[in-house]
Amino acid sequence: MILNFINKGHNGDLHYSKGFMRDLYNVFKPDECFLFHECKPGAVKDLEFLDNNKLSHKYTDFNKYDIRSESGIIGKNIFVNTWVFDLFITDPACYAISGYSNHAGFRKMYKKLGVSDKFNEEIEHYLPTVNFDLVEKDNVNKFVSDNKSKKILICNGPVLNQQSISFDYNPVVEALAKKYKNMSFILTQDFGLRMDNVFYTSNIINIEGCDLNEISYLSEFCDVLVSRSSGPGCYVHTKRNYFNKDKVMIGFTALYLEAFWYLVDQNGCKQIWNNDYSFDSLKNTIEEAIHYR
């Protein structure tokens, strides 16, 4: 039996589906398992069960797929569409594009694949996790060891979805970094801002290729996580971060549910949502998070 996952979306779609892919792999226990997508291979290098990641397939281009995108079983092949948007449009209800719509979409998929009895109704079972044993941690560990200040991680790269817009964080970060010189502001995209307490993930992690899982690892050591639910902003949405009471998540998105993927109650991190992208609103919201703990 061959289990084939297909994802036509972006990096965030890969990350948000990891819990379901791990679960379905354990359900079917296939002889081989592949993920076909158009993102950089490093986005899923922590999925230890993927044959894509094995040396025997090192030179196979799984980023250029010519394969069905509809879920189903044909012969010895099982096809599973893991694109978040496709799952969303099958049952949008009131969930927006979120962990809740994804959960509802996969419920239907498990039924279609004949394994509905294996589906877990607890959404927490499928929240994204990263296998940090397969992530390059040394450079992050050194940065954290050398830097004991409060850390604010801001995912400031371009937005590749409709959840938010690509506004400029630089003026806000500059103002905050001047005011809070004893804190570290870590940005995922270098747009040229140079200050002693402003750092860039590319310099901290310092590896070739995709570093999204390393950013996820770095987020474990940050006090405030600022996201627009795109790219690196999705990779800070992990089960460990959700249930860490010492953390604050900020989501600058059009819709509340799409800011965090999953909503935490009093047993987890503090979540702050804002859909006002003006300078004062951005600055005040991040300051609120800085002073929350």
Phi-psi region of 72 (alpha: psi -120 to 50; beta: other; left: phi over 0): left
Q: Is the dihedral of CA 253, 250, 12, 155 positive or negative?
A: positive
In this structure, which amino acid lies at residue 195?
M
The predicted pLDDT at position 65 comes to 47
pTM: 0.91
Residue 164 contacts residue 229 (beta carbons within 8 Å) = yes
Query: How crowded is residue 134: how many other Cβ atoms within 10 Å of its Cβ?
Result: 14
Angle at which helices 170-179 and 279-290 cross, to 10°: 40
Class at the top of the CATH hierarchy for domain 139-290: alpha beta
Q: Where are the alpha helices (DSSP H) in the chain?
A: 11-16, 18-28, 84-90, 99-112, 138-146, 170-179, 201-205, 212-219, 232-235, 239-242, 257-260, 279-290
The predicted pLDDT at position 90 comes to 54
The predicted pLDDT at position 144 comes to 97
d(Cα 187, Cα 177) in Å, to the nearest integer?
12
Residue 62 contacts residue 37 (beta carbons within 8 Å) = yes
State the distance between the two ends of the chain, measured CA to CA, in whole angstroms.
Answer: 50
pLDDT along the chain (293 residues), means of 10: 88 93 97 88 90 58 52 86 68 70 90 95 96 97 97 89 81 97 97 96 95 98 94 95 97 90 92 96 97 86
The predicted pLDDT at position 58 comes to 46
Nearest CA to 215 out of 10, 12, 5 is that of 12
Q: Residues spanned by CATH 3.40.50.2000 within the chain? A: 139-290
Angle at 177 between CA 172 and CA 182, to 5 degrees: 150
